[in-house]
Chains A and B, each alone.
Chain A
Amino acid sequence: MGAEGQFQQSAAVKVASSPVVEVLDVVKQYRVRHEKGRTLKEAFLRQRIYQETINALDHVTFDIHPGKTMGVIGRNGSGKSTLLKLIAGTSRPTSGEVKVNGRVSALLELGAGFHPDFSGRENVFLDGAIMGLSRRTVEERFDEIVAFAEMEEFIDAPAKTYSSGMYMRLAFSVAVSVDPDIILIDEVFAVGDESFQRKCLERIDQFKSDGKTIVFVSHSLDAVRSLCDQAVWLDRGALRAQGGVDKVTDYYLWAVNEGDEKRLSADEGTHEDQQRWGTRRGEVIEVGLFGEAEENKHIFDTGDSFRVRVAYRSREEIEEPVIGLAIYRSDGVLCYGCNTSEMDRTPDKFKGEGEVWFEIDDLSLLPGDYQISVAFHNLEQTETYDHHDRKYRFKVLNGPKIEIGLCHLSHTWRGWQSGEE
């Protein structure tokens, strides 16, 4: 009896540790055509001219174990959505294999099965059937679905009378009512208002605590960090990194900071993300621009006094913190950058709140629009705590009349009058 129990236990452990999703050396090629909707004539005459193949995924291999939450990061067109489609089963790899053990629910296209002429009630059943729920299951969960969507009042009105927020809320409700083993989420957090978004996140947390496996694709590193234990980074279809979420996102950020993927921050993400990244172990909480005396000044003249105050804090102890500052002209030219490591005394360790001042007595920049980046990182620059990229703006209006260029350089002219004498 005891031995049998032991055997069962070890078998259970073995089952639990075998991956629920296995992606084995997967290649997915797409034929790209210049015009969609192929006709017979094209098929016979122009096929070769118009077709080229791209590798949306290029020899990608990784596993997801049960109960893990896997983040997929990478910029647009890096193959993230293709990967989700392969796991969801709507697409098949060109070569390699995707093994999925369990029921998948994809929160990819919410409300794909909705019909605008039908009532919300009918659509719940229709969408549920498409998501693989039996009619009886939908009946059982119907009240729960409607309550979660906060749609009790409108459930019998035709879906075409719904606002887009209502539509998405109901669709999200149906999607999360499926009782899946594996949940695929592709940035559906733009659903509804803030309180509904919070409910969605709570629901996802509940999935996590229920031991469901989640694959989460997002542009928001913050969201990936807060939700996921593990991450993979796809770069133009290739697997660039995989492992613990901190390791992978740090590496990703490091690559960003190195300028390895310069366009990345410009290409994608929300406005907020695009201008801010970092591990947030230390945070820049406020950046203010000052003149001689006035606060929050944004317009200066060449030669003015120019001061920047950076307030920062750290909730945990961080080593050798450094605050860096860079000034860019609006066309992206880096005018100047430096950091606090040039100060005589910098702390070895830091925890708490503080501020530093960057002061110029005689602003030498010539008229133009400028932006300031502030970075909070460690001395070796191996970890960026918080980077505010070109988030703060100011203008230089009046400068010396005859000077052109980026900035005033101290100079004298000599030799003109001595020529004829």
Chain B
Amino acid sequence: MGGGEKPLMYSDLKQLAEYRELLRTLVSKDIRSRYKGSVLGFAWNFAIPVLQLLVFWLLFGIIVKVKLEGAYPYAVFLFTGLLPWNFLANSIIGGSVSIVGNANLVKKIYFPLQILPATTVISQFISLLLGMIVLAVVILVFGIGLSGYLLLLPLVFLVQLVFAAGLAYLFGCANVFFRDVQHILGILVMAWMYVTPVLYPMSQVADRTADKYPWATTLMHLNPMTGIITAYQQIILDHQPPDWPWFGYSAIVAVVLFVASFSMFNHFKFRFEEEV
């Protein structure tokens, strides 16, 4: 990763910018084809998060009553964490098959292949933004209110976008050479969710482990997704700024991962045509 690699990544990024029109077309194709042929069509992008929230609310608000310290229902907490988590999970799994799933294009038509994982990640990111619209309505309905810290949200989006892209490039490339990747990822992503504070708040972990295992929260924060998911929860639900040191750590990991896997991807991309 010396200075010698810098111009290489520069030209690969520049290519991505030059082909932005193709990128845009592919993203729009991806989003529109997702619910093509269904009656609701584009409305599914909103219907799915709404239905998801409804299930959480029934399950945890009515049937099994789970209470949190904060002034919001558990269902809303869960929804706030799950939206960005789904963005990550879908980017990783979609990114891993973005090359092998487009063998026809990869083999026959010349275009910068770094467009393919980017297409997946951006299209999933747009789903996240649509989900955020639903979340905004929910927040207002439950009287949680808005705060000035919401202005920090784009920063959190950016960090997560870079992190998700890093993973999409990593696994997209790896899956070309080892098809095991796409099968193992489903399990890994699920396990990863359980060690990330999506289903439970970080404050509970701190409360329960402070006496016996004071290092437990530190350990959990080493997972870069912890800093990102808690940032969403803090900004949106608690009206607080993110936990800067840990969020900064996540940002650094995201950038380093992206640089490494984007470079790796572009190094190997000329062999994809033979392998897919």
Chain A residues proximal to chain B, CB less than 8 Å: 30-31, 37-40, 43, 85, 88-92, 104, 106, 108-109, 112-113, 115, 117-118, 125-126, 129-132, 134-135
Contacts and interface: CB of A to CB of B under 8 A. Distances in A.
B178 A130 contact: no
B274 A109 contact: no
Contact of A88 (B33, B110, B179): B110
Contact of A109 (B29, B36, B108, B111): B108
B110 A109 contact: no
B141 to A, nearest CB: 35
Question: Is chain A's binding surface mostly helix, strand, loop or mixed?
Answer: loop
Contact of B107 (A40, A109, A113, A131): A109
Contacts of A113: 105, 109
A113 B273 CA distance: 16
Contact of A40 (B104, B108, B109, B178): B178
14 contacts: A30-B274, A38-B179, A39-B180, A85-B107, A90-B107, A90-B110, A90-B273, A91-B270, A106-B110, A108-B108, A117-B33, A117-B37, A118-B33, A134-B21
A90 B108 contact: yes
A91 B274 contact: yes
A131 B105 CA distance: 10
A106 B32 CA distance: 27
Given A40-B178, A90-B108, A91-B273, 18 more contacts: A30-B274, A39-B178, A88-B109, A88-B110, A89-B110, A90-B106, A90-B107, A90-B273, A106-B109, A106-B110, A109-B108, A112-B105, A112-B108, A117-B37, A118-B29, A126-B25, A129-B21, A130-B25
Contacts of B273: 85, 90-91
Nearest to A88: B110
Contact of B178 (A38, A88, A131): A38
A39 B176 CA distance: 10
A271 B127 CA distance: 53
Contacts of A104: 110
Nearest to A39: B180
Nearest to A41: B180
Contacts of A43: 177-178
Nearest to A160: B37
Interface string B245-275: 0000000000000000000000000100110
A117 B106 contact: no
Contacts of B177: 38, 43
B22 interface: yes
A99 B33 CA distance: 38
A266 B49 CA distance: 61
Contacts of B178: 38-40, 43
A132 B62 CA distance: 55
B105 A130 contact: yes
With a 10 A CB-CB cut-off, give which of A40, A90, A109 has the most chain B CB atoms: A90
Contacts of B109: 88, 90, 106, 108-109, 112-113, 130-131
Contacts of A31: 274
A115 B29 CA distance: 9
A117 B179 CA distance: 28
Contacts of B37: 117
B179 A126 contact: no
A126 B108 CA distance: 15
B270 A92 contact: yes
A294 to B, nearest CB: 55
A117 B41 CA distance: 13
A125 B179 contact: no
Contacts of A135: 21, 25
A134 B20 CA distance: 10
Contacts of A92: 270
A229 to B, nearest CB: 25
Interface string B97-118: 0000000111111110000000
A326 B173 CA distance: 58
A134 B110 CA distance: 16
Nearest to B106: A90
Contacts of A37: 179
What are the 8 closest A-B residue pairs judged by CB atoms, nearest first? Answer: A109-B108, A89-B110, A129-B25, A92-B270, A117-B36, A129-B22, A37-B179, A91-B273
Contacts of A125: 25
Interface string B205-217: 0000000000000
With a 10 A CB-CB cut-off, give which of B106, B108, B273 has the most chain A CB atoms: B108
Contacts of A134: 21
With a 10 A CB-CB cut-off, give which of B22, B111, B270 has the most chain A CB atoms: B22
Nearest to B105: A112
B33 A115 contact: yes
B179 A39 contact: yes
A109 to B, nearest CB: 3
Contacts of A109: 104, 107-109
Contacts of A38: 177-179
Interface string B70-104: 00000000000000000000000000000000001
Contacts of A91: 270, 273-274
Contacts of B21: 129, 134-135
A351 B58 CA distance: 94
A91 B270 CA distance: 6
Contacts of A118: 29, 32-33, 36
A113 B274 CA distance: 19
Contacts of A115: 29, 33
Given A39-B180, A126-B25, A106 B108 contact: yes
A126 B110 contact: no
Contacts of B26: 129
Nearest to A29: B274
A112 to B, nearest CB: 5
